[in-house]
Structure 1
Amino acid sequence: MVRSNGSHIDKSKDTSQQRRLAANAWAQGFQSIALPIARKRIRGQDFVFGLRILIVARIIALLILMICFGVQPARAGQIEYPQVIHTQYEAVDQKTGGHFVLWSEREKIFYGLDQKLFPGARYVEITQVTPSVGSITLTYVEVRTVGSTTSDYLYLAGNVRFRVSGMTLKSSNFPAGGGMTPNGQ
């Protein structure tokens, strides 16, 4: 083969050198992308540029390995059963009592709506128990009204919701910071 300037090319040396370069690049794994670029620059003018590319290729390969093998899924802790939640409310004004409305399925139970029919609640103590995973929540409610010396006891199963007004939260076993604990605790 003849070059454009008239000199001859020894094809056997050129292909063996290319094969050696390709085998060397293959043996070095992740550096096979950066090695041909670095070798061309080394032959040309800048040896430092080639070393920088090799260092960057090694860092990228290390980062990829750390991401693939170093990341482990977060595991949640087991929830212990039975789950028991205690909550106690007291009326701000003990003479008039507070308002307490309880919803269970389609039924509503009122305290404090009307002083004669539904007297205000002096205090309300709620205990919710979930016995096991997937089971129905059992709710026990004790309500002491303003005009009574004995409490009303409600035993409910299933979804129970309630609304409280004119009362303050006195005690709860919820973790702090969720708005379900008294300010003093």
Structure 2
Amino acid sequence: MHKVIFATTNDGKMKEIREILKGLDIELVSMKEAGLNPDIVEDGSTFEENAIIKARTVMELTGEIVLADDSGIEIDYMDKAPGVYSARFLGEDTPYTVKNQYILDQCKNAVGEERSARFVCVIACAFPDGEVVTRRGTIEGYIAHEISGSNGFGYDPIFYVPEYHCTTADLQPEQKNQISHRGKALRAMKEVLSCHFNNSPGE
């Protein structure tokens, strides 16, 4: 079994990741479970750059295969903010209930297509030989008119998916994983890892 570290300390995210990557012959651990707490400066200007920074930093610390994601919400009415700053928007320690209400307030005069938004996720995989691979997933939707749903985390309660007539926080976890930005990016990365392990010599 191959050890793979996912560079996150977010338990909600790890639950989703484990569900989507199940079936791979890997021992998947979070940074917390690996006893890591590196000070990673995410100063990239794109989701790809930040995901690579995280994956490469932890790989160089551990010598293990490391996955990392950078994800966020782009709101067209707010000039695609918060984007790469989604986790740090209004301050890293600010509760998402406050962040979500702030966004609803900012968008209160937006109507129809003006409320268009998307979740973006980029997964980076840093291999010990220095190779880095990225995969991107997106889901299109709208900013809801009110907070709704108790599943998911982060901005899920205000991200409305028209096909399902609800927010991603209203969806059951297995439904969300099928359509989510992270689900799409992780399934693409799952194929990369599967090929890598199948083609690794002597294993």
Task: Compute the TM-score of the two structures, normalised by the length of structure 2.
Answer: 0.21
Which structure has greater helix proportion?
Answer: 2
Q: Radius of gyration: which is bigger?
A: 1
More strand by share: 1
